[in-house]
Amino acid sequence: MKTVLAVGAHPDDLELGCAGTLALHSAKGDKVYLLILTRGEASGNPEVRERECRDSARILGATDIFIGGLHDTMIHDGRESIDVIEEILKKVQPDIVYAPSSKDTHQDHRHTGHAVLSACRRSRIILLYEGASTQRDFNPQVFVDIAKTFQAKLKATQVYGSQVGNGGMYAKAMKAIEGLAKFRGYQAGVDIAEAFEVGKFIFEI
Amino acid sequence: MKTVLAVGAHPDDLELGCAGTLALHSAKGDKVYLLILTRGEASGNPEVRERECRDSARILGATDIFIGGLHDTMIHDGRESIDVIEEILKKVQPDIVYAPSSKDTHQDHRHTGHAVLSACRRSRIILLYEGASTQRDFNPQVFVDIAKTFQAKLKATQVYGSQVGNGGMYAKAMKAIEGLAKFRGYQAGVDIAEAFEVGKFIFEI
Amino acid sequence: MKTVLAVGAHPDDLELGCAGTLALHSAKGDKVYLLILTRGEASGNPEVRERECRDSARILGATDIFIGGLHDTMIHDGRESIDVIEEILKKVQPDIVYAPSSKDTHQDHRHTGHAVLSACRRSRIILLYEGASTQRDFNPQVFVDIAKTFQAKLKATQVYGSQVGNGGMYAKAMKAIEGLAKFRGYQAGVDIAEAFEVGKFIFEI
Amino acid sequence: MKTVLAVGAHPDDLELGCAGTLALHSAKGDKVYLLILTRGEASGNPEVRERECRDSARILGATDIFIGGLHDTMIHDGRESIDVIEEILKKVQPDIVYAPSSKDTHQDHRHTGHAVLSACRRSRIILLYEGASTQRDFNPQVFVDIAKTFQAKLKATQVYGSQVGNGGMYAKAMKAIEGLAKFRGYQAGVDIAEAFEVGKFIFEI
Amino acid sequence: MKTVLAVGAHPDDLELGCAGTLALHSAKGDKVYLLILTRGEASGNPEVRERECRDSARILGATDIFIGGLHDTMIHDGRESIDVIEEILKKVQPDIVYAPSSKDTHQDHRHTGHAVLSACRRSRIILLYEGASTQRDFNPQVFVDIAKTFQAKLKATQVYGSQVGNGGMYAKAMKAIEGLAKFRGYQAGVDIAEAFEVGKFIFEI
Amino acid sequence: MKTVLAVGAHPDDLELGCAGTLALHSAKGDKVYLLILTRGEASGNPEVRERECRDSARILGATDIFIGGLHDTMIHDGRESIDVIEEILKKVQPDIVYAPSSKDTHQDHRHTGHAVLSACRRSRIILLYEGASTQRDFNPQVFVDIAKTFQAKLKATQVYGSQVGNGGMYAKAMKAIEGLAKFRGYQAGVDIAEAFEVGKFIFEI
């Protein structure tokens, strides 16, 4: 049994990139913790948004979810963000960390990615997921076959009622979610996959 | 009206990467020429394969198709390949050239990409398409919205009866063709797209 | 007729990288808007500098020029900069956006480049120009032949009396302006050119 | 129990990059197959060299070793090399493949790397090891802690009597073998490690 | 005789990456100045840490050492940092500048690297050293053979009593210092070396 | 006094990229050897071409020139090319080697670059110059101020009567030679420069 920590900047950041993988961890009996750095108040009512991501956490079988208390659109890659992440690291002691790739046009995602790499420099596996504003030079090396949990992934993304219908970036991403999963599956040589860049990977033989 | 030349190593190389774009050119009245460097004899009967790609050319509205006479799995990036391409360049005088990206695990695709860049060093627009064995560091910069010609693209890929059913790389690619088009569309901010790296691009203001 | 928006961090940032291209747009009848995020107060009298860039705008045939009200040497890539850009985006609704490449040793240019990519994630064409402190890994993919407007480009750079004579970076850049234009022309296979990295490019067939 | 295939161009190519990892596989009970494409006749008596690498295989606990029959310094990345590799693939059906990184100044290593990626496009894990002439842009993402098998690795490298004493590249590499293992360990956050670039990695949750 | 400036973010940043090179400069009669931007107060008593780095400076034969007065973990790449560096530049007028590579998981190192490149844009040689948290894509191009000063380097690192014993990143780095030096030496074709990325290098024939 | 070896694929390859630097070496009293791998028979009468490059060698003050006997457009990166280079290496024992960058659309230049890196793996300084068909991702790190020898460089390029007037790639490159030198000078912060990527650089303190 492994312990997993997935870090996102906003309530709906994890779903596109690694929800299928997180659901696989849960299904296998791993402990899955989520850390969401902000309540996403820049794109909706923070209470609604927090509730939505707690619903998603339940669908994915997460053990617990932490909300980091940083401010939406104002995450920096300095001390403050690193402290929030390190506090959870101490509590959870994860074997595997999932974090957003820093190759992203959204400053919160870039800075979250940097802050996780700083905070988790002692972790053994850090995998960087893609999101709705990831840049085109995201170049994944590691793939997870999510055929068994793709329905859970879809269901998790659909709880974001506040985002799905607003015509914004999230809505567009959701429209593409199946295409993305099939394309990443194709690159991996399976039907349907999630794809990750490697922050660090100690491979256990 | 523009003149377009699309170069492929094997009979079924163009369809995954740029068939939608070629069909758009045809629909708009551009002249579309195809140059297929080999008859694909390593993966089937060359006569069948040549017939299939002539069928595909018809579906895409191509003006003419040239078969280059090189040997499947033995394309090099030297003089011989460059000569074949330069001969067609002189005949066709294209405004835009489509060629395979050299970021590919298949040596024929790599070498074809290099040879086109050598031969076409005076062309004004060279766009590099992705294929069934393109590597993951393919990082497209230019996108074409192919919503209007996606059906033609699908139809063109289906003429390859000799490849579709054999469980090989082509069959897998075809299964992923819609996912790929939606993912590239998502990156471009449209519904469905083909994606290209830039060999060279003189932008006409 | 197209609508064009060019974004610069300081009053004299656009001229080196894209003045010839902007003048071409004007000559062709496109609407050209300039957004300068700061008044450049760190390198001279802000009133003089603003006047100079309004003179340059006139030479380039710009339709209008906006001054963003951010502080020279203190542009960040967060909310504040993005808001300034998004406000102009709504007003202008550009078809094409020009912005500084983030591969730059000057923090204002880096952050402006990031902020434009964040703000313009729905734009169809974003081209990234080079400037006086662009780093050597600027790797252009798109070129514009500016033979017809090179004189306008030179004239526009010469209005910056406050910068041309001070022996600083701008003066050095201006000394190299013809060499740069010829080198980029050479890369493009024309006499004289401006060169761009691609932020995003939806190619209209 | 996994099945592992490690491919090298010459008799002494595997030891520097992945001998510790191979010994770990053996120790754990995995089946380890070696494929050496040439007998290394350009740097010594081929019979001696073949004997040396069979000795090394024994030390590493390899199940079997295959010699590919290609010619030293003349390995190409085309059909001939791919066929040799595919034949062994069919026989062995590996879960994990180790191959040289193509970022190498030695043409045989470059071409072997390319050929393995072509041949193994259906494999689930391909890891690319470093060697005595790997270039400096080798940028590993995956690490294996080899504290338990470092002695076996050292012992395996020392069987190459024909190379160790000749003052050539191999002798230099051997002198650095401990430094390399500690540096890679340091990057990984362990004492001693081998490092790999990812050809492909399907991560089993 | 040359004048050299080495910039570090914290009291113990220079030793791992360039202490051997600095000691070589001193031994040859060059003037060596150190600029440490913070007193490292986030990892220990700032007075102790400052004293330690003054001890190290003495061992390396530095002419003088400047402490920049910025705040540990809060170095930015903007005006404030650049001003601190520019002030010392004017005083010292170095021929060669050593600075941390920006490819680092520690935000202070990243920002120091950027700030030095901004401040020193007129310097003729800027070499970027690696440190305890440098990322794996650090890709050195320039090497210095430090066989003659490796003992001084070791001695300099050992004055950091406050860091050596605390089990943290510094302690780990020190454990790997010989491995690193041998690995970089191996890449350079010498016994023991320090390695640098190039910020800028005007080569005097 | 240093010994320098400059390697080119064809008679006129060295002039654009490193003639100014070679003339500086000569002026300073260094021994400068040229190795031209082919007689350039694909672009003119080989006797004329050989004579032209001997004239150029004289202008640049070269000590001696070697013609390698390989075939124009058919240089490979394997044994044959490496042997030719290694033979001259043994004879000349250069301190510094100049070779074409492998980032080139011309296969002969690519393969020459690779072959030099293979052959010279023990050299202390290898600098890679740009040429008439170098690709846009050539990213120089080292610059030489050639203000004193630019006239010699121009004069050397003009001896290629067989190439200058034929409207081909060489003629175009020569037209851009001043722009290139000024642009590279601008990047280096001097008036006029040649620019190099680093194959390897042991920096003597």
What number is the average pLDDT over the span F124-132?
94
* pLDDT at residue F163 tops 70: no
Residue F166: the pLDDT is 60
Q: C74 vs E77: CB contact, 8 Å cut-off?
A: no
DSSP 8-state class, residue A140: -
Residue D77: the pLDDT is 78
Residue B44: the pLDDT is 85
Residue B163: the pLDDT is 67
| Percent share of chain A, pLDDT over 70 | 96
Q: E183 vs D185: CB contact, 8 Å cut-off?
A: no
Q: Are D39 and D108 in contact (CB under 8 A)?
A: no
User: Which is nearest to E196 in space by CA: E129, E102, E112?
Assistant: E129
B59-104 pLDDT, tens digit per residue, is 999 999 999 999 998 888 778 899 999 999 999 999 999 999 999 8
Which of E42, E73, E133 minimises the CB distance to A121? E133
Which chains are within 8 Å of C by 3+ CB pairs? Answer: A, B, E, F
Q: D182 vs E189: CB contact, 8 Å cut-off?
A: no
Task: For residue D160, name the pLDDT band (cuts at 50, 70, 90).
Answer: confident
Closest Cα in chain D, distance from residue E181 (Å): 8
Distance from C-alpha of D111 to C-alpha of D107, rounded to nearest angstrom: 6
Q: F203 vs E142: CB contact, 8 Å cut-off?
A: yes
Residue F203: the pLDDT is 96
Task: For residue F165, name the pLDDT band (cuts at 50, 70, 90).
Answer: low
User: Helix, strand, coil % (nearest 5) of chain C?
Assistant: 45, 25, 30
Looking up tokens 């530049």 gives: E89
Which of D144, D202, D205 minimises the CB distance to A28? D205
Task: For residue D167, name the pLDDT band (cuts at 50, 70, 90).
Answer: low
Residue D174: the pLDDT is 74
Which chains are within 8 Å of F by 3+ CB pairs? Answer: B, C, D, E
What number is the average pLDDT over the span B23-38?
97
Closest Cα in chain E, distance from residue C106 (Å): 6
Answer whether A touches F (≥3 Cβ pairs < 8 Å): no
Question: Chain C residues with CB inside 8 Å of E84's CB?
Answer: none
Average pLDDT, chain A: 91
* pLDDT at residue C51 tops 80: yes
Q: D117 vs B107: CB contact, 8 Å cut-off?
A: no
Which of E78, E79, E117 minimises the CB distance to C105? E117
* pLDDT at residue C197 tops 80: yes
Residue A167: the pLDDT is 60
Residue A168: the pLDDT is 66
Count, residues in chain E: 205
Q: Which residues pair with D142 in a beta bridge?
A: A201, D196
What are the phi and psi torsion angles at B29 (to 5°)?
100, 5
Cα–Cα distance list, A117 to A72, C108, E9 (Å)? 20, 25, 19
Residue A121: the pLDDT is 76
pTM summary value: 0.90
The nearest alpha carbon in chain B to D113 belongs to B105
**Assigned token pair, B201:** 């691009």
Task: For residue A164, name the pLDDT band (cuts at 50, 70, 90).
Answer: low
**Assigned token pair, A8:** 């996102």
What number is the average pLDDT over the span D165-174?
67
Which of B178, B187, B191 minimises the CB distance to A136? B187
Report the interhelical angle of A46-59 vs A14-28 (nearest 10°).
40
Which chains are within 8 Å of E by 3+ CB pairs? Answer: A, C, D, F
Out of C167-171, D148-152, D199-203, E157-161, pick the least confident.
C167-171
Question: Chain E residues with CB inside 8 Å of F205's CB?
Answer: 21, 24-25, 28, 30, 144
Answer whether C touches A (≥3 Cβ pairs < 8 Å): yes
User: Which is nearest to C19 in space by CA: C57, C55, C52?
Assistant: C57
Q: C114 vs A105: CB contact, 8 Å cut-off?
A: yes
**Assigned token pair, F101:** 């960058």
Closest Cα in chain E, distance from residue A118 (Å): 5
What number is the average pLDDT over the span D169-173?
70
Q: Are A3 and A30 in contact (CB under 8 A)?
A: yes
Residue F26: the pLDDT is 98
Give the count of beta carbons closer than 10 Å to the beta carbon of residue E27.
14
What number is the average pLDDT over the span B108-127?
91
DSSP per-residue string spanning F43-67: GS-HHHHHHHHHHHHHHTT-SEEEE
Closest Cα in chain A, distance from residue E103 (Å): 11
What number is the average pLDDT over the span D152-164?
84
* pLDDT at residue A175 tops 80: no
Task: For residue F135, name the pLDDT band (cuts at 50, 70, 90).
Answer: confident
Question: Chain B residues with CB inside 8 Å of D117's CB?
Answer: 105
Distance from C-alpha of F171 to C-alpha of F169, rounded to nearest angstrom: 6
* pLDDT at residue D166 tops 70: no
DSSP per-residue string spanning E75-93: --SSHHHHHHHHHHHHHH-
Distance from C-alpha of E170 to C-alpha of E157, rounded to nearest angstrom: 9
Task: For residue A169, name the pLDDT band (cuts at 50, 70, 90).
Answer: low
Q: E78 vs C107: CB contact, 8 Å cut-off?
A: yes
Range from C70-74, D18-22, F160-164, F183-187 that averages highest in pLDDT: D18-22
Distance from C-alpha of D59 to C-alpha of D53, rounded to nearest angstrom: 10
CB-based burial, E57-86: b 16+ in 10 Å, e otherwise: bebbbbeebbbbebbbbbbbbbbbbbebbe
Q: D185 vs E179: CB contact, 8 Å cut-off?
A: yes
Question: Chain B residues with CB inside 8 Å of A140's CB?
Answer: 136
| Percent share of chain F, pLDDT over 70 | 96
Q: Which residues of chain B have a Cβ shorter than 8 Å from any chain C Cβ? A: 21, 24-25, 28, 30, 121-122, 124, 127, 141-145, 188-190, 196, 198, 200-203, 205
Looking up tokens 């995602």 gives: A109
Residue D175: the pLDDT is 76
Answer whether B touches E (≥3 Cβ pairs < 8 Å): no
CB neighbour class for A171 (10 Å; exposed up to 12, middle 13-18, buried from 19): middle
Distance from C-alpha of A133 to C-alpha of A113, rounded to nearest angstrom: 13
* pLDDT at residue F121 tops 80: no
Task: For residue D22, name the pLDDT band (cuts at 50, 70, 90).
Answer: very high
Closest Cα in chain B, distance from residue A77 (Å): 26
User: Which is nearest to D143 in space by CA: D193, D109, D104, D82?
Assistant: D193
What are the phi and psi torsion angles at A38 (to 5°)?
-130, 170
Closest Cα in chain B, distance from residue D79 (Å): 6
Interface test with C, best of A105, A112, A114, A134 (most C CBs within 10 A): A105
DSSP 8-state class, residue C71: P
Q: E201 vs F145: CB contact, 8 Å cut-off?
A: no
What number is the average pLDDT over the span B155-168?
75
Q: B121 vs F73: CB contact, 8 Å cut-off?
A: no
**Assigned token pair, F26:** 């000569």
Looking up tokens 């060019």 gives: C6
**Assigned token pair, F46:** 């080989």
Mean pLDDT in consecutive groups of 10 residues from the start of chain E, 205 residues: 96 93 98 96 89 94 95 86 95 97 89 92 92 88 97 91 65 80 91 95 95
Residue C167: the pLDDT is 60
Q: Which residues of chain E have a Cβ shorter than 8 Å from any chain F Cβ? A: 21, 24-25, 28, 30, 121-122, 124, 127, 141-145, 188-190, 196, 198, 200-203, 205
Task: For residue A165, name the pLDDT band (cuts at 50, 70, 90).
Answer: low
Q: Which residues pair with C151 in a beta bridge?
A: none
Count, residues in chain B: 205
Question: Chain A residues with CB inside 8 Å of C78's CB?
Answer: 73-74, 107
Cα–Cα distance list, D45 to C204, D42, D52, D72, D171 (Å)? 62, 8, 11, 12, 17
* pLDDT at residue F174 tops 80: no
Distance from C-alpha of D38 to C-alpha of D56, rounded to nearest angstrom: 16
Which of F78, F79, F121 minimises the CB distance to D133? F121
Q: Is B192 helix (H, G, I), strand (E, B) or coil?
A: coil
DSSP per-residue string spanning A70-107: E-TT---SSHHHHHHHHHHHHHH--SEEEEE-S-BSSH
Q: A189 vs D202: CB contact, 8 Å cut-off?
A: yes
* pLDDT at residue C112 tops 90: yes
Q: A180 vs B186: CB contact, 8 Å cut-off?
A: yes
Q: E141 vs D136: CB contact, 8 Å cut-off?
A: yes
User: Which is nearest to F189 in space by CA: E125, B121, E139?
Assistant: E125
Q: A180 vs B173: CB contact, 8 Å cut-off?
A: no
Count Cα atoms within 13 angstroms, Cβ side, for C177: 25
Q: Which residues pair with B202 in a beta bridge?
A: C143
Residue E19: the pLDDT is 97
What are the phi and psi torsion angles at B202 (to 5°)?
-90, 115
Looking up tokens 């017939």 gives: B51
Average pLDDT, chain C: 91
User: Which is nearest to C87 in space by CA: C69, C75, C108?
Assistant: C69
Q: What is the ipTM of this complex?
A: 0.90
The nearest alpha carbon in chain A to C122 belongs to A169
Closest Cα in chain B, distance from residue D141 (Å): 15
Computed from CA positions of residues D105, D106, D107, D108, in that sequence, does the dihedral angle turn out positive or negative?
Answer: negative
Task: For residue A166, name the pLDDT band (cuts at 50, 70, 90).
Answer: low
Residue D169: the pLDDT is 64
User: Which is nearest to C61 in space by CA: C28, C88, C36, C83?
Assistant: C28
CB-based burial, E174-188: b 16+ in 10 Å, e otherwise: bebbbbbbbbbbbbb
Specify the amino acid at residue A20.
G
Q: Is F38 helix (H, G, I), strand (E, B) or coil?
A: strand
Cα–Cα distance list, F158 to E67, F15, F100, F195 (Å)? 55, 10, 20, 21
| Percent share of chain D, pLDDT over 90 | 69
Closest Cα in chain E, distance from residue C136 (Å): 10
Count Cα atoms within 13 angstroms, Cβ side, for B5: 25
Question: Chain A residues with CB inside 8 Å of B191's CB?
Answer: 175
Closest Cα in chain F, distance from residue B9 (Å): 18
Q: A198 vs D198: CB contact, 8 Å cut-off?
A: yes
Closest Cα in chain A, distance from residue D204 (Å): 7
CB-based burial, E109-148: b 16+ in 10 Å, e otherwise: bbbbbbbbbbbbbebbbbbbbbbbbbbbebebbbbbbbee
Q: Are B143 and B187 in contact (CB under 8 A)?
A: yes
Which of F140, F176, F182 minimises the CB distance to C176? F182
CA angle E43, E47, E49 (to 5 degrees): 45
Closest Cα in chain B, distance from residue C147 (Å): 12
F84 Cβ neighbours under 8 A, 6+ residues apart? F35, F37, F68, F69, F70
Q: Which residue has the higher pLDDT, A76 or C37?
A: C37
Size of interface A-C (CB pairs under 8 A): 20
